[in-house]
Structure formats: C-alpha cells, structure tokens
Structure 1
Amino acid sequence: MELRKLTAGDYEACMALSEYAFQFTMTEDQLERRREEFSKHNVLGVYADGQVGAKLQIIPFQTYIHGRSFEMGGIAGVATWPEYRRKGWVAGLLKYALEEMNRNKQSISFLHPFAFSFYRKYGWETYVEYKKYKLSTSELPAKKQTPGTIKRGNPELAVLKQVYETYAARYNGSLNRDGAWWENSVYIKKGSKRAVYYDEADVPQGYVFYEVKDSKFTIGEMIHLNEEARQGLWTFIANHDSMINEVTLQAPASDMLAFQLDNPRIQQEVVPYFMARIVSVEQFISQYPFASQDSPVQIWLEVEDAYAPWNEGVWELNVAMNGTASIWKKAESEREDQHDQRIRLNIQSLTAVLMGYRRPAEMAQIGRMEGSATAIQALEKAIPHRETYLLDFF
C-alpha cells in the first residue's frame, strides 16, 4: 500500500472508482470537462496491487467568514473500492489531506458527509443547515405590486455575481465563487431558466434559477437582497400558477417564509448539510475578525486534535479592542498554569463556535467545552453573531 498524490495519468482510474462508488455514469463530454477540473485539484490516493484503491480530492475554494474571504479546502470524491474497505485507508487519506491543506495555507476545510458520525471522528463538525420547502400553488405568498421589474432570460454573469457576492458575504460559510465555478457548477446544476429583479433605479436586487417541468416549479437558487426583491420574485413565481401545482426550494435556516404566509402550515424540513473543520488554529484565528471589545481580552484555549497534532495544546488568544487577534502556543512549562480564562475543547467544538453555528454558552451548557463562567462569557462576547449558509454542493 502506497499513499501519494495522484497525477493526470491516474484520471481514468479515479473516475472509474467515482462512478462505481457514487453510482453514476458520465458521458464522454462530461469526462473531458472533469479532466480539466481534475488537473486543478489536489488529488490524493492509496495505491495497492498496481491500482488506485482509494482516493479523495481537495478542491481549492474561498469562503466568507464575517465578510472576510478565507482559503478553504473542499474535501470531495472520497471513495474506496469495496475489496479494500475497512483497512484504515480513508483515515490515512484524511490525515494526509490535513497536512496538505496546512502546507497550502487552507486554514478551514468543508465536506459533505455520507455520515456525520464518521467524519466527526477526524475533526469535522456540522456547520450549516438549511430549510427545505414544498408549497402548493394555493400556499404561495400573495402576489404584490412592486416598483421594480423582472427580466427573464440569460443575464450577464456580472449581474448575478453582483447580487450573489453581496448576499453571500452576509453569511459564514458561503463560497466566494470564481468564474469557473459559475460556469461549471452553478449554471449546470441550478436550473437553465433565470430571472432577475431590478429596482426602480435598474439596480439588480435579486434573482432566481429555476426549472418548470411536470407541473412543478423547482427553484435551484433564489437570492433577494431586500424585502422588495423578495416580494417581486415570489410574485413572478406565483404568476406561473396556471402551469404548476407545487414549488420547491431551499433557504437559510432562519428564513421566515412560513411566518409571512396567511397559512403557515406548509411542508418544511430543516436539513443538516455540510461539515467544517479548522485545519490550522493559528492560521485561522490570526485572520479571524473578532467583535470589537471595550478592553483587550485574553483567553487560553486548550485544544484537543488527534489528527492535526500542530493544533493540539494550549493557545494564548489575545483579542484587541478593534477585534484583531494574535495567538501563539504556550510552552510545555506554562501549560499547567490554572489560568482563570482557560477553556478546554476539541477541534470540532472550536470549529462550530468560530463558524458561528453554535454559541460558546450553548456548547458549555451541553458539555462540549469546559471553563470558568468568565472565560466562556469572554469568548461569547468576542465572537460576532452571523448565521451560516451554503448554497453550493461539491
């Protein structure tokens, strides 16, 4: 068994494994398009018996956290041939991937789990969920006249990016999409029909990607920057009422659609979605924009991380009044000090609170971090409030 980076020469073997493991078949055109993407990813594999026995890929992304763009490694395509499973190869690949991302300054990593419990063992934790809606035409929001206009068709990418980037930066964990991602993922997966809402000044304030088929209006992505745009887009959707029986979509977990309906008893489901993991405590926190403080804050973080030993240990975190942070690992001789601002937690819990998915007080209440009340309160005040959301899949 040999663990190593894979190259362009391994492409066909990797695609054969993916098709088998994830039960799909690609056309020749799709295979060629994926070949170009493969060359841009960091693909790691286990070789055994002269073939690729297991593999994963690290996709280079950027993600918004408190309005700032962070380098992120997206783990995808984790697969093993059935005859090689339960040999610990995926564990080895994940540890190798953490080392690679750490070297490449990707301080945070996301993945979509087949089982949350599996990836929690290696340090990833739930960071986002979304609401999934299904509405009949009789349940749709009431049509309202708005001062803006809807333009249906194929808007320029610059228009969509303008709306998306303003919206995505409001959340933690949304992708900072580049042009290639729009072309190769968003346009292909979100629906071929598009409409943009423009306000009276002809400024784009929202859009929807959708499909209408078999009397169903399927929303692949809907974004609105204000209430006017929300009403305008829903009126556009409701104007399809003679063609459709139902509408499906997803929205942030805090979305208030049901509350805004005359009858809030609609079909809705909260879906746990992606997981995140801090790859480097030092790199991540050094970039992290903490909340402004009345006075400087010092907290000791005792972090457990079995799969990324560079994170393991006691860290001194100092947050300045303007929210900038410095952090360094304490020497062995200093770690026994019973500092009253000391908090003990594992990398999963640290990730959940810094991503904004859970608050420090909540995590302390359920035993996911330990520390004095003053230390927990100091961390609570230092972390800004911002919801997590992710509109993409990889």
Structure 2
Amino acid sequence: MKKTSGHSSEPAAEWTVRPSDHDEYPEAARVVGEALLAPSTVEENLPHLRPLMDESGYDRVLVALDGDEVVGSVNSFGFEMTMPGGPRPVAGVTGVGVWPTHRRRGVLSALMRHQLRDLRERGESLAALWASEGAIYGRFGYGAASMEAELTIARPHTALVPDAPRDPALTVHLLGADAAREQVVEVFQRVFPTQVGRFRRSDVWWDRVLRDTPDARGGHGPLKVALVTDADGPQGYALYRTRPEIGPAGWNSELRVQEMVAATPAARVALYDHVCNRDLIATVVVDNTAVDDPLWTLLADRQRISAVPRTVLWMRLVDVPAALAERSYAAPVDTVVEISDRYAPWNAGRWRIKADGDDAGVEATDAAADLSMDVSHLGAAFLGRHTLTAQAAAGVVAEHTPGAADRLDAALRLPHAPLCGVVF
C-alpha cells in the first residue's frame, strides 16, 4: 500500500499493515491514546481496555508499521447490532489513530483499506463508528447516519402533560448499580432488538456501562438506578448521577441521566416522573436520547427543553448488495443506484434494489441508473433518518429519474430514530 507524502517532503514508500496481538496491543493503544489526546497513560487505561480486547480478539486490531515502530492502528468490535429488520453482525470500528509525527502520509488510508477487506472476508457487510472529528471518515466511505441529543430542563418546568400514561401497578425502586444489575440487563435485552442502533451487551460491556469508579463519575456522585417494576418484573430503568451544589440563591444541583430504557410508555413516564421531581434538584439533564425521544411529547412545555444534538453513528456499507438485501423496507421499491467507492472497489457499479417489506433482492445490472452517489451518501441514508432527497438537493447525490430519491427514502424510512447510547 503506497504511502503518499501529503504535506510531508518525505518520498512515498510502502506501509506495512498487519493484525496485532496481545503482547503488541499496548503499543497500538499508546498510538491511539496520543492521537486522541488521552488524559491518562496506557498503563492506567489497560485494566479497562484488556477485558474488551480479550473478548473481542486482538486479531481485529490492525497496526501500521514504520520499520518496527507502530505508527497507526485501527480496531473493530464484532457487534450484534440492531439494524432495520433486526439484529445482525456489524463491525464497531474504534481505536483509530496515527502517531502525530506520521500524519498526512497515507497511514490511515492504508489502515482503512486493509480493514475494509478484512471485514468483508469476515462476512460483515456493515461497519459503524463514532467519529472524533466529522471531517475524517466521509472520504473512507462512512456517512453520518444518526444523531442523538442531550436534553436539559430547569426546574420548575419539568412537569409532564396531564394525560401522560401513569400505571398505579408500577413501583419505582432506587438502588445501587450492583443490586439492580440483573434487572437492568433483563430490561435491556428485551428492548434492544426493537431499537435500531443498540448493540447486544456482554458482561464485559455491562461492566463498562455500570462502572462507578471516581474517574467515571465526571464530578458527579455515585451511580444510581431507578428501577420500575410491576407484578411481571422489571419494566424500565434509568441510570443517573447527581451533583449537589448550593449558592447564594439556594440549591443549584444537577441530576444527569446516563441512560433510560423502558419496555412500556407507562414505565417511561414513571421514570421521568422520578428524575424530574427529585428534591433539591435545579436542573435535569438527560443524555444520550434519540432525536424523537418521548420527552418532547410528554413535557408540558416542550419549549423549556434545551437540546444539544450531536452526530453519533457513521455507517459504512462494506458490502453494498449484502447490506441492502439484509435490511427491511417500509415501502415497495424497484430502483437502480450507481455507486462509486474509492476504498472498496468491489462495491462500485450499478445495483438494482427490488424490495417489498422484509423481502429484498439486490443484483448487479447494466440498466440505466435512477440515482448516482458515493457509497458514503448511501451510508448516511441507511438508517432511514437522513434522506437522499436532501442530499440530492445539496448536489452530492445525482437524481437521473425524477422522484427516485423520494421513493427510495420512503422505502428506507424507519418509524423511530436510531439510538446507540454508548460510545465504543
């Protein structure tokens, strides 16, 4: 793989990219930590990273070498993630970094090309990542496919609408993370297959989500669990922390919800009633919410919500026909899309998508294209929230047949916004 000089005056040469192993992993982690300006050392982070890597497998870590020196790395977790149509294998790309002295010399390009081939050989037709910088991954075929929001409400504006569904059979318990873990996992396992963007969590991932060490608290107090139950068992939970603060005008404390998962609307209302009505709390922050979170409907005065949106999942079609054939479609569609793909040339060409509900077929064709686009723009539309119609209006998707983008958007549409909730 050629390394190009970019902004460097050094001549082009060949980068060596290969899988890593258990013993070399600290060097890969050191590169990524330095690239991402990690506040702690590799030695401090390894106790938290090793369990994830021991489970995932070190062969998924790729390193780029300059002689014997590790100068770049990329990793992926083999997730079972809920996609349109249900849970299926998705590569959770993570641990991407290049040593600062080797930037803009083709290291990342070499790593990305190698990883895409590797993922394809593993049979993973989709990859997803959280981006540290939004300008990086579009050129590698990733599209910004979903957003989440942090919602903030100041007391006394946290009242819910009078007709919010409240079930007297529900009880809210306040527990520690260890005491509630079994019930929390039970609720999540029930809900995750219905929420596009969630991935199945192993015990190791639950250890990470529920970690309650001082460095995980971010200046807040211990992790608390509001657990909603009825006669049939747990129906929902909220993980949250509080930060007490008192000033000249009185209490100015914050309650920050890390995650809220509910199996029923009434369970969600019970959770919102709990977190919005804690004594001495001046501000409630609900992090990691879908952009269509029910709180927008449930809050009596929705204009009191201050929302900070952020791009979350970037989606990459590793194998275009396989990824399109595996998903479900909300409306019948029969269209031809022409795909360009610089980093995965096996995707380039014209593909006929013929789908009706859960039954879809995708095959190569010589027919005229209704739409033409880079694979990144199809990735951005894959989760059904960012439309091809909007991308056509921006001029980055070419529509050759009038209405083709709108018809494919209708087929790709999802009834609810995606939600991942955990940075990987």
Same fold (TM over 0.5): yes
Q: Deviations over 1:23-75 (max 9, x none)?
A: 22258575234234334241011111421111111111121112411211111
Instruction: Report the Cα offset of residue 169 of structure 1.
Output: 3.1
Q: Work out the number of aligned pairs and report it.
A: 381
**Secondary structure of 1:310's aligned partner:** helix
Larger mean CA deviation between 50-59 and 231-240 belongs to 231-240
| Residue in structure 1 matched with residue 306 of structure 2 by the alignment | 267
The 3 A distance-change label for structure 1 pair 241 and 27 is farther
Give the distance between the partners of 1:217 and 1:292, measured in 2 at CA. Answer: 42
Q: Is residue 20 of structure 1 aligned with residue 51 of structure 2?
A: no
| Residue in structure 1 matched with residue 411 of structure 2 by the alignment | 382
Partner of residue 364 from structure 1, selected from 392, 396, 404: 392
Larger mean CA deviation between 178-187 and 84-93 belongs to 178-187
**5+ long unaligned stretches in structure 2:** 1-14, 245-252
| Residue in structure 1 matched with residue 354 of structure 2 by the alignment | 318
Larger mean CA deviation between 156-165 and 282-291 belongs to 156-165
Larger mean CA deviation between 137-146 and 105-114 belongs to 137-146
| Residue in structure 1 matched with residue 193 of structure 2 by the alignment | 169
The 3 A distance-change label for structure 1 pair 286 and 258 is closer
Partner of residue 160 from structure 1, selected from 175, 181, 184: 184
| Residue in structure 1 matched with residue 249 of structure 2 by the alignment | none
Tell me if structure 1 keeps the 8 A contact 2:146–2:383: no
| Residue in structure 2 matched with residue 197 of structure 1 by the alignment | 228
Matches within 5 A, 1:179-198: 179-187=203-211, 192-198=223-229
Tell me if structure 2 keeps the 8 A contact 1:143–1:238: no
Q: Deviations over 1:55-103 (max 9, x none)?
A: 1111111211124112111111111221111111011111111111111
Identity of aligned residues (%): 22
Moved over 6 A (4+): none
| Residue in structure 2 matched with residue 133 of structure 1 by the alignment | 151
Tell me if structure 2 keeps the 8 A contact 1:61–1:74: yes
Instruction: Report the Cα offset of residue 247 of structure 1.
Output: 1.8
| Residue in structure 2 matched with residue 277 of structure 1 by the alignment | 316
Matches within 5 A, 1:1-394: 1-22=15-36, 23-26=38-41, 30-39=45-54, 40-41=57-58, 42-141=60-159, 146-147=167-168, 148-153=170-175, 154-155=178-179, 157-187=181-211, 192-199=223-230, 201-214=231-244, 215-242=253-280, 244-250=281-287, 251-263=289-301, 264-291=303-330, 293=332, 297-319=333-355, 321-330=356-365, 335=366, 337-338=367-368, 342-367=370-395, 368-373=397-402, 375-386=404-415, 387-394=417-424
- Letter in structure 1 aligned against 2:226: A
Tell me if structure 2 keeps the 8 A contact 1:66–1:170: no
Give the distance between the partners of 2:407 and 2:299, measured in 1 at CA. Answer: 40
| Residue in structure 1 matched with residue 7 of structure 2 by the alignment | none
Tell me if structure 1 keeps the 8 A contact 2:145–2:382: no
Give the distance between the partners of 1:150 and 1:209, measured in 2 at CA. Answer: 13
Tell me if structure 2 keeps the 8 A contact 1:143–1:235: no
Give the distance between the partners of 1:324 and 1:389, measured in 2 at CA. Answer: 25
**5+ long unaligned stretches in structure 1:** none
Instruction: Report the Cα offset of residue 260 of structure 1.
Output: 3.6
Tell me if structure 2 keeps the 8 A contact 1:141–1:234: no
